[in-house]
Amino acid sequence: MLINFKNLNTNKLSFKTEFEKKIIFFLEEWFSKQETVNVQTSGSTGTPKIFAIQKKNMINSAEMTCNFLGLKEGDTALICLPIEYISGKMMVVRSLVRKLQLTVADPSVKPIADLDTQIDFCAMTPLQVENSLDKIHLIKNLIIGGAGVSENLKAKLLKNKEQKATTNFIFETYGMSETLSHIALKQLMPQAEDYFTIFENVEISKDERGCLRIFAPNVNAEVLQTNDLVEIKEGNKFRFLGRLDNVINSGGAKIFPEELEALVKKEISNEAVFIGIQDELLGQKLVLVIEGKESEEITKKIMEIPFEKKFHKPKEIIFIEKIPRTPNGKINRIELRTAIEQSM
């Protein structure tokens, strides 16, 4: 289904799939007299919640993204993210606000398999990108969100860029449901940046724990306190260090699993997650969970990694068939930790 928001007539829209039907229902909700729409959180850090958000704030968020990327009326876009979540809803709102031509593709791990022409804008999860490398060069502006972009995926994107001589722009996003998708982008291609750059009219600071505090009045009137440990640079840039919730306390040492995962994923292509398992001696024992069949070769590679600290080396490596994820693709660390503890 193609929706031309430059000449939109919702009465003429027809659907062939359940996802297309949901898109139409969302448009009907958007054009209703209600000033808010309901959004479901991912549940990656707790129980999923549904809350109402102001349409005017969603418009402001859409404007910030479109301005940052230089999108203009008549440009093409593609939606392949679930419409239940803010990520999918905002793709529709951006298209509506900037009057884009939006192609609707059912959310899947290979959402652009049938794409045969260049498009100007698309948002995808890392897992979708991983399975779409042969077509990524067709997307002029790609934003990747829902989960962090691994070092392994970055290497694949770089190799893909060199092979296809692409000139597309690829960004990693930072945000959450409460910020109506993202409030900052970090360029991965053509230049690899270490810091996220915040949008205009967004202010950031740190609390006493070193966690990011966000004030984005155009999308949320409240100051948003995160549990994300960051390093701030020049007032408008920040580097993500890890989530305070995920910090592992092993023998009195604080370990940031995200940093270790980035190191491991430079060496292996499998999904890898560090978790802390209850231990009488250490409090929490550092365990590395790898998705895939057990492999001596992978184990050897990991044990040869020059970890900065001795206690960064996992006490145990566990292989499982599938790492649990939330419906929108994020790793569900809570469910993973529970499953591993129950199996031990």
Residue 129, pLDDT above cutoff 60: yes
| Dist. CA 105–CA 53, nearest whole Å | 25
48 SS3 class? coil
Cα distance between residue 41 and residue 56, in whole Å: 19
**Backbone phi and psi for residue 125, each to the nearest 5 degrees, phi listed first:** -90, 160
Q: Which helix (H) or strand (E) holds 232?
A: strand 223-233
Measured distance CA(207)–CA(228) in Å, rounded: 10
Average pLDDT along the chain: 89
With cut-offs at 50, 70 and 90, classify the pLDDT of residue 39: confident
Sheet with 283-291, side-by-side order of all strands: 272-279, 283-291, 316-320
Q: Which two tokens stand for residue 104?
A: 């609707």
Nearest by Cα to 252 from 270, 225, 279: 279
Q: Is residue 332 scored above 80 in pLDDT? A: yes
The whole-angstrom separation of Cα 262 and Cα 276 is 17
**Residue 312 pLDDT greater than 90, yes or no:** yes
The torsion defined by the Cα of 10, 14, 19 and 22, in degrees rounded to 10, comes to 40
Q: Is residue 272 very low, low, confident or very high in pLDDT (cuts 50, 70, 90)?
A: very high
pLDDT of residue 182: 92
Phi, psi of 287 (to 5 degrees): -125, 140
Question: What is the average per-residue pLDDT within 70-88?
Answer: 93
Cis peptide before 190 (omega within 30 of 0): yes
Stretch 135-142: mean pLDDT: 94
* pLDDT band of 23, cuts 50, 70, 90: very high
Structure-token pair, residue 215 = 């004030």
pLDDT reading at 46 higher than 80: no
| Strand 272-279, strand 253-255: pairing | unpaired
pLDDT at 9 over 80: no
pLDDT band at 266 (very low <50, low <70, confident <90, very high): confident
- Scanning 5-74, the segments in alpha helix (DSSP H) are 18-30, 55-69
Longest CA–CA span in the chain (Å) reads 66
- Answer yes or no: is pLDDT of 295 > 80: yes
For 234-315, strand residue ranges (E) read 237-243, 248-250, 253-255, 272-279, 283-291
Q: What is the DSSP string of 177-215?
A: GGGTEEEEEEEEESS--SSEEEPTT-EEEE-TTSEEEEE
Which domains, from first to last, does the chain contain? 2-243 (3.40.50.12780), 247-343 (3.30.300.30)
Predicted local confidence at residue 193, as pLDDT: 92
Residue 183 CA to residue 204 CA, distance in Å, equals 10
pTM: 0.79
pLDDT at residue 51, as a whole number: 81
- Alpha carbon 136 to its chain's center: 17
**Pairs from 218-227 (Cβ < 8 Å, separation ≥ 24):** 218/57, 218/60, 218/61, 218/64, 219/57, 219/58, 219/60, 219/61, 219/64, 219/179, 219/180, 219/183, 220/57, 220/178, 220/179, 220/180, 224/176, 224/178, 224/179, 226/176, 227/45
Angle between helices 55-69 and 86-98 (to 10 degrees): 70
> Which pLDDT score is estimated for 293?
93
**Which pLDDT tens digit goes with each residue over 221-247?**
899 999 999 999 998 999 998 888 888
Helix axes 86-98, 18-30, angle to 10 degrees: 60
Per-residue confidence (pLDDT) for residue 42, from 0 to 100? 61
How much is the average pLDDT of 265-283? 88
